Amino acid sequence: MTGVGWDVGLDWPGFAPLHGDMTADACVVGLGASGLAAVEAFADYGMTVVAVDAGRVAGGAAGRNGGFLIAGPEDPLHLAIERWGECAVDLYRATLDELRTLAERYGPAVVRPVGSIRLAGLPGEPRDEAEAADRDAELADCARQVVALNAHGIAVEEYDGPLGRGLFLPDDAATNPAIRATLIARDAAMRDRLCENTRVLEVGRGRVLTEHGTISAGAVVVAVDGRLDVLLPQLRDRVRTARLQMLATDAVPPRLPCPVYGRWGYDYAQQLDDGRLFVGGGRDRFLDDEWTSESHPTEPVQAYIETVARRMADRPVTVTHRWAASVGFTEDGRPLCTRIADGVVAVGGYNGTGNLVGPVAARAAVDWIVDGTPPPAYLST
């Protein structure tokens, strides 16, 4: 079983690799949603761009994730404020803006404005006392999240429905991540030079060395989330690569009205209009094994995710696709936007929730390089 459920039927002609040396105003490394946002941001400044990826557009986490477009940082807002201060609210607002812009540009082809549900626990009766106690604790945490969101005028409702109890966040949305990235890449390729299958070996001031040639550019953004510590070993003490795993199933009867995440956000599922379920999670249960830059799915994690899928569907499921991808984690949960050399900034470390945060960080990196605007405090420089 190979492939990713998201790109079933996706017609992607691909871009040619870099061929020889090139010069441009700017170079972007990584063609996930973050790198593509950097490409757009440089182009908005009127700069020429060459952007490269070791694989294909959205071949990393950007095309292999849960498709949750969830505003805010990885932690619920009250926890993020505790950890970083009020700048966490600024990140929340920046991601809402990013989502609004994406929806205005691409409409329902990319953004399904359905909200999201944070469940306390997983659907169905708790399996034992420990699960019941954990669910109660999570429900209390949901209440703290409501207080923080209300205090900052961010929409939230209590959820008490067929899936269980928790919160409904009406401003959130869902996407097919592979379609999102490829549509943006097609637009960018009309203007800029995008190269697939071009691995970057070294990044330095004014120069990006790839396996197929050297790109000379005064401005460089490295937008690699997972495996950032592999490409830039100097960041090893600030970002660590982990594997996240998912699966897709055959169609089951409609049950999830929007993206649903439960058990402290570790387990998550999205159901498409055609009934297919996309389910992931379990990283916390296999922590030691999942601190790895490998990106193959493994049997124990997949077996656990199948149990989540059954609970989300409330019935047996047939798995059609299994996959995994790499993401970067940081110590304090703040994403990185950090200077590597003159004119070179690396972004990454979105702690498993980079669909909106990644583009926000990438745009901040471009502003920092081009007009000297310092990154906001919610990014770790």
Query: What are the residues binding ligand FAD (CB under 6 A)?
Result: 29-35, 52-55, 59-62, 64-68, 70, 199-200, 223-227, 231, 244-246, 280, 325, 327, 348, 350, 352-355, 358
What value does the CA radius of gyration of the chain take, rounded to a whole number of Å?
Answer: 20
* CB closer to ligand FAD out of 166 and 280: 280
Which of residues 73 and 164 has its CB atom nearest to ligand FAD in the complex? Answer: 73
Strand-pairing partners, residue 164, are 161
Q: State the minimum distance, in angstroms, from the CB of residue 23 to ligand FAD.
A: 19
In the complex, what is the shortest distance from the CB of residue 233 to ligand FAD, in angstroms, rounded to a whole number?
12
Cβ distance to ligand FAD smaller for residue 135 or 180: 180
| Nearest distance, CB of residue 222 and ligand FAD, angstroms | 8
Cβ at position 184, least distance to ligand FAD in Å = 11
33 vs 149, beta carbon nearer ligand FAD:
33
- Structure tokens of 66? 């849960």
Nearest-approach distance from CB 346 to ligand FAD, in angstroms: 10
Q: Which residues contact 22 (CB under 8 A, 6 or more apart)?
A: 50, 193, 213, 214, 215, 216
Q: Helical H runs in the chain?
A: 33-44, 77-84, 87-106, 129-151, 177-189, 228-231, 287-290, 299-313, 354-371
Contact, 281 vs 267, CB < 8 A? yes
Q: Nearest approach, Cβ of 264 to ligand FAD (angstroms)?
A: 15
* 19 Cβ contact partners less than 8 Å away, ≥ 6 residues apart: 212, 213
**Dist. CA 271–CA 260, nearest whole Å:** 9
| 252 vs 327, beta carbon nearer ligand FAD | 327
**Nearer Cβ to ligand FAD, position 312 or 372?**
312
Residue for token digits 């201060």? 85
